[in-house]
Structures are given as structure tokens and as C-alpha cells.
Structure 1
Amino acid sequence: MTTDPTAAPVAATATPTEDRAATVRVAFWNTWLLAPRLWTTGPRLPGLDGWFAPDVEERAPLVGQALAGRFDVAALSECFERSEQDAVARGWPEATLVAGPRARRPRLTGSGLATLVGPDVQLVRTAQHGYRSGGDLRDSDTFATKGAQFVAVRVHPDLPPVEVISTHLFAGGDLLPVPGSEDATRHHAARMRQVDELVAFAEREHDPASPLLIVGDFNVQARDPDPSLPDPADRYRDLATRLGRLQVTDVWADHGVGRGPTCTFASPDELPPDPDEPDQVLDEAEAEAEATAPRSRKERIDYLWLSVPDGLAVEVERPRRWAFSGRPARGGPAGSLSDHLALSVTLHLRA
């Protein structure tokens, strides 16, 4: 556990009023900034430019610029190398970068977690946890230090800090085509062991007086098409039940419009821009399209889970998805800046 001795006083975005109210904007984004280096500050792996993810050096500063000023806390995943984290931070120089768990042997890469804390809130506490659970040598995830990152920020001097825990769970497979490598049941079991660690970590760090957001790429589809499942929602329910120990609920399920897929888009038509904010996706159009094509390959695997303490009133604005299309570099095949959409929610707090 660490604290930030250089944190500045709470500033304007917290909007303190006589009745002790404040607003905080939180986002999570799998940025797909994956371009391994031979060592931390060394060259890229030779001959593999673009093999892991496209245009990483071009996209990294654009990620920071896209987030700048829009959120108070922006938790990122797949921002693996320190060089990419620094490039993202340069795109939003007013923010404070908090890096997640670093690589530790025998893992070759870090967690990919990094959180940007904007200048209008006060960073008061951080902590991190590296998962002991995971897959095996059949899984590319085995080489990453999967884990969770805790950040607490103060948005008003008379309100408890807002806590954000981010994670990116095990996906599985995608390495050696050997028996069991693509076993979805095995993958889910490994993820749920990590979820149990995540819950235990949250129980250690969470202040029950604070609102808590658990955000991340959980690699669990809200409706999984695996034909071996009796119900497509079985794995989602398993995830929700385990997280239920923390008294959290699924923000999109409670407040979102439409099914809210966050990845596996193939065409720009699947990401219509909102005319009021073109960097956002028009959820109403996606919901209408899903009603006519319910077997779409799009997936909802990125989540915001919220717990509200007693004694604090929290108004939850409708969560939104962000594609950040139209930049001079793109990540996803549908033209978005990453292969995942960012998810955000705005919370209005009142004592």
C-alpha cells in the first residue's frame, strides 16, 4: 500500500457545495498497446512490428489526448511497457500516472494496468496485487503478470474518497495448439480463481464508507455462445455471484442502453457516432441493430461494477461507450482507437 505525498488539494471539478455534493467521472479502457521489448527500455522484439497490435507508438499519445479532461480517473489495461505508459501520460500531462503491477519472474511482462488520475481530484491512496492464479504454458497470458490495481481519490473534503479497482483477467489459449489449449471451461475456472483473489484484495483495501467501482476487462461474456453451456448467461452469473460478496452491481445492466458490447467489432457501421459527442457510440442505434441481428459476434466483456455505502446518496448517470474514431491511427478493425471501447460512468455524490 502506498500514499501520494505530493497530491494537490481538491480542485474545481469536485464542485463542492454547501450540502456536500460532488461529481466524479470514471472510465476503463483496454487500450491494446501491446508491443513487447527485449528488455524494459530496449528495442522491440525484432521482425514482429505490428504482430501483437497495430500502430502502438502512434496510438499511445493519442490515447492520453483522447482521455484528457474528460475523466477524473481513467483506468487502462494492455498498456504494458513503460514506454507506452509514458507516451500515454505525455498525451495528458496534467494527470498523474499510477502504474500497476510490474513484471516479476517467471512472468516476462507486467500487468498492463495503469491509471491516470486527473488534476481536479486528489490521489490519496494506491495499492496493487499480482494474481497467483492463472493458466499454464498453453496460454499466452501465462507470460503476463495479471493482477489488480487500487486507487482512491478524494473529490470533496467532506465526502469519503472514491475507490477504483481495475483488473484484466486471464483470457486463455492463443499460444500452442495442443490439447486443452482452447478449453473454455478450463479458461473460465482460471478466471474465477483470479476473481476470488480480486475479491479478497478488495476486502483488504476497501473502506466500507467509500463508494467502490471495480472495472476491467473480465473476459467473461454477458451472454456466452459456448454450446456446452445450459444457459448463455451461466458464466456471467458465476462472475456476478463471486463479486456479489462486495455488494457490487453491474452498472451497464442497471443503467445502460442496449446490450453494450465492448469489443469484436468488424465494421464502422457497428460503431455509429453519437451526434452530440462523436467520440461516443450511439447506443440507441446499437440496441436497434441488435434487435434485428441478435446473433451478432460483438461481445460485452468489459465491466463497471459499483457498490454504494450507507449514508451516501449516489446518482448514477447512464454509462457510455467511447470509440474515439477518426484519429490519425487506429487499433480496431472498425476504426476505433483500440480494439475495445472505453466504458465510462459519471457519479453524483451527496452526503
Structure 2
Amino acid sequence: MPVEILTTHLNSRHASGVSDDRSLYAYQRQVEFLSRFVATNHDPASPLIMAGDFNMGPRPSRRSLLLGSVRGMSNDRGRAIVRDGLSSCLSNPADRIAQSADARWILKRGRDWQFMSDGEHVGLKATHAAVPFGRAGGAEMLSDHMGFSVDYQLNHS
């Protein structure tokens, strides 16, 4: 079963060098485009992973736009299909990532995400996450972002 993978990098508020209002307008247009792109190109039979620098941050306006759009993506039966892979792993106390200050910082910062969605007959489950490029244990960050990975498992129904 194929898994569709979408990556993106949405505009940043300050780095864009424009006013907050203009930056929010651009962000809104990008989120709308992303939603249309998924609706037009994603095969609902296949699981989907959407990952990237979504540059949502702690801003309520951006958070509302992005998470509202992501939660609005649904399959033909109207069931919401999108979940956050890192948060899923953080909620599992058996996964060492649940104690990771770096992972909690990634979610609090709200820029980098891996959203996942089931296919029609194939579920997608986040099974483990790691932050190999964070601050814990003397690890080196490669940029102003902490690099994280999520392992996924396909579940056939």
C-alpha cells in the first residue's frame, strides 16, 4: 500500500520582512492552497503524512488557520483524518520521547509538524519519535529548528 508524503515550508512572520497583517494574509493564502492541494491530489485510499516547517508558532491567528484547516480535512464519510504524529508519541508513557523536553519544546514552538491521516482501509499509527538534533544529551542542532523523526506503522483493516 502506498503512503503519500507531502512536505511544505510556509512563510514565517518576522523573516518575511513585511507587516504582521500582510504576513498573516500570505499565511492564510498558503494554508488555503495547501488544503485545496490535498483535496485535489490526495488519494483517500492511501495514508498521508504531511510534514514540514508550518511556521504556525504560538500566534492564535496562525494556529487557528492551520489547525482549523488540518482538522477540516476529512474523508468521504466526514471522519476527521488528520492527527499529529509527535503528540501521539508524547501521549504514550512507554515511549521515551514522553519525557523529552526537546519534544515538548518542538510542540510548544509550533513550527515543525508531522500530521498523519489514515487511508480508507489502512490505518497509520505513530509508534515512536526521536529528537536526534535537539539539545538533550549534548546533541547538536543543525539550524534554529530541532530535528525530529516519527516512526509509523501501517494497520490493515
What is the TM-score normalised by the length of structure 2?
A: 0.72
Asked if 2 retains the 8 angstrom alpha-carbon contact of 1:174 and 1:182, the reply is no
Is the alpha carbon distance of 1:193 and 1:346 closer, same or farther for their aligned partners in structure 2, counting shifts above 3 Å?
same
State how far apart, in whole Å, the 1-side matches of 2:61 and 2:142 are.
31
User: Deviation per CA, 1:234-253, whole angstroms, max 9, x where unpaired?
Assistant: 53132111122323122233
User: Is 2:3 the counterpart of 1:162?
Assistant: yes
User: Is 2:72 the counterpart of 1:236?
Assistant: no
State how far apart, in whole Å, the 1-side matches of 2:23 and 2:133 are.
28
Q: Taking CA–CA contacts closer than 8 Å with sequence separation of 6 or more, which of the two structures ends up with the larger relative contact order?
A: 2
| Aligned AA (2:151) | T
User: Is 2:135 the counterpart of 1:308?
Assistant: no
Q: How many residues align?
A: 139
User: Deviation per CA, 1:131-182, whole angstroms, max 9, x where unpaired?
Assistant: xxxxxxxxxxxxxxxxxxxxxxxxxxxxx20001000011144476xxxx34
Equivalent residues in 2 for 1:13-32, closer than 5 Å:
none
Match of residue 29 from structure 2: 193
State how far apart, in whole Å, the 2-side matches of 1:192 and 1:175 are.
14
Which consecutive residues of structure 1, in runs of 5 or more, have no partner in the other structure? 1-159, 225-232, 258-275, 277-281, 291-297, 326-333
Structure with the higher fraction of residues in helix conformation: 2
CA RMSD in angstroms comes to 2.9
Match of residue 213 from structure 1: 49
Asked if 2 retains the 8 angstrom alpha-carbon contact of 1:217 and 1:303, the reply is yes
Is the alpha carbon distance of 1:190 and 1:337 closer, same or farther for their aligned partners in structure 2, counting shifts above 3 Å?
same
Is the alpha carbon distance of 1:165 and 1:343 closer, same or farther for their aligned partners in structure 2, counting shifts above 3 Å?
same
Bigger-Rg structure (1/2): 1
Shift of 1:324: 6.9
User: Is 2:142 the counterpart of 1:341?
Assistant: no
What is the TM-score normalised by the length of structure 1?
A: 0.35
Equivalent residues in 2 for 1:127-166, closer than 5 Å:
160-166=1-7
Q: Secondary structure at the match of 1:319?
A: strand
User: Deviation per CA, 1:29-78, whole angstroms, max 9, x where unpaired?
Assistant: xxxxxxxxxxxxxxxxxxxxxxxxxxxxxxxxxxxxxxxxxxxxxxxxxx
Asked if 2 retains the 8 angstrom alpha-carbon contact of 1:167 and 1:218, the reply is yes
